[in-house]
Amino acid sequence: MKSILEIVSSGTAYLEKRKIEEARLNMEHLLAHVLGCRRLDLYLRFNETVPEGQLTTLRDLLRRRGEGEPLQHLLGTVEFCGHEFVSDHRALIPRPETETLVELILKKFATPPARLLDMATGSGCIGLSLAKAWPLSEIILADISEDALDLARLNASRLSANIKLLRSDLFEKITGTFDLIVANLPYIPTAEIQTLSPEVKRDPVLALDGGPDGLRIVERFLNDVLPHLNPNALIALEVGHDQGALVATRCTELGYLNATTAPDLPGIHRFVFAIAPVQVAKLSVIQDDEWNDQSPSVN
């Protein structure tokens, strides 16, 4: 039988031949998953051998990874904002750049918003992470996909998060107003979907396809969200790598206030923030002019 070190080496070579990025890291994650240990524990067990039954399981996972099945789907879970989320074919894989969006939102609020909406929630990673940070807020997770909502429901149960789930085509079934609405909408131009990596192609097309220019659904969102915003409520969007400035300009054209972009960790301005175009009592969102910390109204 081969040692763990030999298995890691041969598995890494297999993935490298199939052009899998970070091949060794992928291999270590798969082997640790099969052995039921932490990845770093492998370094303390390099001389141990692996029983044939576990090798058979590993070979199947390795083959599927080499064919482009996402590592997160094979492992079944992914860490996001310090929480473990189930990840599978029903929704987008929670990605590190979206963690930055959650962190930026948390920094913008001096006090938690009373009522917030996570539109196009997918796995629920954004809304549920906010729910864990703001347990007293009323939080609604909405999506057009029943499959995605089932996955979000599972993650909410695992995290014991107090949220509501709603199936809605954007604001079709949404009632009332909110102090924060966050959305990671489909933003990839239709023609570009076939050029995506094999891993991204495993995500639901419904969660990827943003129409001919990638902004069809974002434009619908911006036009339809206004009646659902409390005075000075915040909207927060994640958009494509080259869409941030364009979406911020569109927000300004529609009358939103303080439309700005913010970068992810690599410096790509993929996050857009804007304030509802209503000049009344101020929501306790930290702005450059140091707005007063006044509690938001809730309908």
User: Tens digit of pLDDT for each residue in 141-152?
Assistant: 999 999 999 999
The model's confidence at residue 277, banded by pLDDT at 50, 70 and 90, is confident
Q: Between these two residues, 295 and 219, which has the higher pLDDT value?
A: 219
Q: Please name every residue paired with 271 in a beta bridge, in sequence order, or none if there are none.
A: 238, 262
The model's confidence at residue 291, banded by pLDDT at 50, 70 and 90, is very low
Q: Please name every residue paired with 257 in a beta bridge, in sequence order, or none if there are none.
A: 275
Give pLDDT, residue 75.
Answer: 96
Q: Between these two residues, 288 and 38, which has the higher pLDDT value?
A: 38
In terms of phi and psi (left: phi > 0; alpha: psi -120 to 50; beta: otherwise), the region of 46 is alpha
| pTM of the model as a whole | 0.88
pLDDT digits (tens, 9 = 90+) for 249-273: 999 999 999 999 999 999 999 999 9
Give pLDDT, residue 281.
Answer: 34
Average pLDDT, the chain: 91
Mean pLDDT value across residues 154-158: 98
Give pLDDT, residue 278.
Answer: 59
Q: Please name every residue paired with 98 in a beta bridge, in sequence order, or none if there are none.
A: none
What percentage of the chain has pLDDT greater than the value 70?
93
Q: How do the residues of the chain divide into helix, strand and coil, expressed in percent and rounded to 5?
A: 40, 20, 40
298 pLDDT higher than 70: no
Mean pLDDT value across residues 77-105: 97
Dist. CA 24–CA 111, nearest whole Å: 43
The model's confidence at residue 275, banded by pLDDT at 50, 70 and 90, is very high
